[in-house]
Amino acid sequence: MSSHRPERHYTGRIGWLRAAVLGANDGIISMASFLVGITAADVSYDTLFLAGMAGLVAGAMSMAAGEYISVSSQADTIRADLQRERRELLTDTEFEQAELTRIYIQRGVDPTLAAQVAQQLMAHDALAAHARDELGLTDTQQAHPVQAALASAAAFTVGGALPLTLLILSPPTSVLPVLAGSSLVFLAGLGGLAAWAGGANPWIGAARVTFWGALAMGLTASIGALVGPTV
């Protein structure tokens, strides 16, 4: 007799993993690129540090606000769909049951069995059945705006604090190479970790994040070097 063992799936991590990875990744890339660009413009250390602190706070708040608005819009859409489905279930139950039956038939279930399954699920929890099988909504897709906003802001702060810490610890004569090189290492580690947590190839995750981070820092450094002397 085999014992039941719960299966571990990665989809349950989608909500928090997306917000955390996006926030930390944006924190490292934004702050590193920002600081690299200003460093290339040959400004004073005090100006560089002040700009970094302002950028860290502004970036964290921007991430929180953007994530809150985005996920709130998603929640509003889901709520509207469920409300419409609830009205349809009250006004035309037979049609909704037939609709559910057709969905199961299209998925390969025998018509007679599909009708029985639809009837039983409608009797148990009609709205949940239609939300899952008609609208494609599951528990892992539930929108939590405040949670997403806090996760993004915290992750951005942690990610953005890394380049800022490098700025503080680096010798004045080697700020640019230390900042750029170490930030790319952080990005590679984050990309690999995020891919691993999501069940994907960590090397691919590390490579794509590092590529975009290097591109961002290269562009800002070029702009800083070109514009800085004229300011």
- pLDDT, residue 10, reads 46
**Token pair for 50:** 């002040």
Among 112, 124, 122, 115, smallest CA distance to 88 is for 122
Residue type, 172: P
Residue type, 18: R
- pLDDT, residue 211, reads 92
- pLDDT, residue 19, reads 62
Show pLDDT as tens, one digit a residue, over the chain (231 residues): 445 555 554 444 455 566 667 778 888 888 888 888 888 877 788 888 888 899 899 989 988 898 889 888 888 888 888 888 888 888 888 888 888 888 888 888 888 888 888 888 888 888 888 888 777 776 655 667 888 888 888 889 998 998 888 888 888 778 888 888 888 998 888 888 877 776 778 899 889 888 988 898 888 888 887 876 655
